[in-house]
Amino acid sequence: MKRTENKCVGVEMANLLLDPAAVPAKVLVHVEECEDCRRELDELRATMSLLDTWKAPEPNPYFMTRLGARLTEEREATPASWFQRLGARFITRSASHIRPLAAMAMTVTLLIGGGAYVGVTNWDKPQAPVGEAAVVHDLQTMGSNAQLLDQLETISSSNENGN
């Protein structure tokens, strides 16, 4: 067996405990020679012998009778309100019907939320006149901004005087 960091690779302790005849001879020889593997096998044997002495407690003989009676009571009881009946229907049926309902609710939520977002974001934007070129619109915007025109004229006149 290969040894890596104080652990032996290839030794299956469960097979040694459950079916020692099926374990290869080289594994048996390794366990006899390796102190760590021998100690671990002894600890596992002690644990298994302790588990063999444990006795499970006997169940109450009336448990199944009481459980059956309680289930019958719950099935026959009528819920007090429509909400409880709806909840009982969802609990007793399989969960496969919930997915389409959830998908539909998510779709409606996204449509309403998206429509509200689009409606809110389009309120502040002025509509550009149809057929007007972007250049014309930019020139009109610059014409309304006197400060920008003054700066452009200053730059233009300084370039003419410098040349």
Q: What is the mean pLDDT of the chain?
A: 77
Q: Is the overall model pTM greater than 0.85, yes or no?
A: no
Using the predicted structure, report yes or no on whether residue 85 has a pLDDT greater than 70: no
> Would residue 72 count as lying in a domain?
no
Each residue of 114-162: pLDDT tens digit?
A: 877 776 666 655 666 666 677 777 777 766 777 777 888 888 888 777 6
> Would residue 13 count as lying in a domain?
yes
The one-letter code for the residue type at 57 is P
Least Cα distance to 29 among 46, 10, 48 occurs for 10
Distances (CA, A) of 59 to 41, 98, 113: 34, 38, 57
- The answer to whether 128 touches 135, Cβ cutoff 8 Å, is no
- The answer to whether 88 touches 79, Cβ cutoff 8 Å, is yes
Query: What confidence score (pLDDT) does residue 149 get?
Result: 73
Query: What confidence score (pLDDT) does residue 114 get?
Result: 80
> Would residue 24 count as lying in a domain?
yes
> What length is written for the chain?
163
Query: What confidence score (pLDDT) does residue 140 get?
Result: 76
* Tally of structural domains, the chain: 1
> Would residue 146 count as lying in a domain?
no
> Would residue 140 count as lying in a domain?
no
Ranking 28-32, 61-65, 132-136, 153-157 by mean pLDDT, the lowest is 132-136
> Would residue 23 count as lying in a domain?
yes
Cα gap 62→132, rounded to integer Å: 89
> Would residue 26 count as lying in a domain?
yes
* Structural domain that includes position 29: 2-53
